[in-house]
Amino acid sequence: MKAQRKKVTIKTLGEKIARGEKIIGMECHDTPSAMMGEELGMDLLCVGSPGPMALFGHKSMNTVKFQEQLYFLEAVLRGASTPFICCNMPNTTACVSKADAVRNASEIQRRGADGVHIEPHHKTVKMVEAIVAAGIPVVGHFGVQGERWSQVGSYLPRGRTAKDAADIVKLIKSCIDAGISTVLLEHASEELTKWCYENLSVPVASLGSGPHAHGIFHVSSDIIGCSVFPTPPKRIPFGNVWQNMMDAYTAYYRAAQSGAYPRAEESHHMHDGEFEKFLDLVG
């Protein structure tokens, strides 16, 4: 019988890093994937905005609703319990006011998450600090920030110029001072990620940002190759579930169309003598 794994916490993540072991994390938004992450022993599951985008077809993270994010969180919590589970705070849920940010983060924690995931800005660091002061761990997301797409205008890699990299580090340091527990860098230059890995006082995770990090992170829908949007450049898929599903749906459609499905032997039948009784009952 497989031994039950202990709950992953901020403390145990730090102990794993101290032993020189990689933290393995995954963006996750459904119960089956959460169950598999649990079975594999994933350290961290993040219920991110790619879920509503990949499955609900949102054209950008700007239209993701907070309630949708909570639905996905509940789905993940039904499938996994031992990984450290954090949930994204989409759109304006973490930047209107300190009170509003703490209220929304508390709702995420009340649902069962261990922490929250935020894409900070220089002007929202005070909200991050308020959430941390309320006792809620924060994972800070830097580099490409999908929720600021309409402001930035692209998903191009970040930190490829000295100035851009320095601006990102300045924001990260402000957020570390505010109390974030982890830095997640998405599609940042390898040089910037390596510098952060070697110089920052908190763990650094890489999402398409090179191998030099305490943790490696990937998006579940991109891992399996099943999203309404193409896999981002240089974010390698490890499967093609979209094609597997299309093959299965096509086989079903053609079998139903031709009459090959369902077959007679796959039908259910009344018990002996019951059909005659049925005819009497219906006249």
In order along the chain (283 residues), what is the average pLDDT of each group of 10 residues?
81 95 96 97 92 77 86 97 96 91 98 97 96 98 81 78 98 98 97 98 96 96 89 88 97 97 93 97 93
pLDDT of residue 233: 81
- Output the pLDDT for position 1: 46
Give the residue among 104, 78, 106, 80 at the shortest CA–CA distance from 90. Answer: 104
Q: What is the pLDDT of residue 53?
A: 76
Nearest-angstrom CA–CA distance, 174 and 106: 22
CA dist., res. 170 & res. 117, Å (int): 19
Show Cβ contacts of residue 136 under 8 Å, excluding neighbours closer than 6 positions. Answer: 102, 105, 106, 108, 109, 115, 116
Answer for the pair 132, 179: CB distance below 8 angstroms, yes or no.
yes
pLDDT at 148: 67
pLDDT score at 234:
82
- Angle at CA 190, nearest 5°, toward 226 and 89? 50
pLDDT value for 207: 96
Calculate the alpha carbon distances from 192 to 14, 97, 155, 175, 186 in Å.
22, 31, 17, 17, 11
The amino acid present at 105, given as its one-letter code, is A
Q: Residue 140's CB: how many other CB atoms inside 10 A?
A: 24
- Residue linked to tokens 């994204």: 88
- Among 162, 142, 145, smallest CA distance to 153 is for 145
- Reduced to 3 states (helix: H, G, I; strand: E, B; else coil), residue 150 is helix
**Nearest partner of 53 among 221, 265, 267, 281, judged by Cα:** 221
DSSP H helices in the chain? 10-18, 31-40, 50-56, 66-79, 98-111, 125-133, 149-152, 162-178, 190-199, 220-223, 241-258, 274-281
The structure's pTM equals 0.91
123 DSSP assignment? G
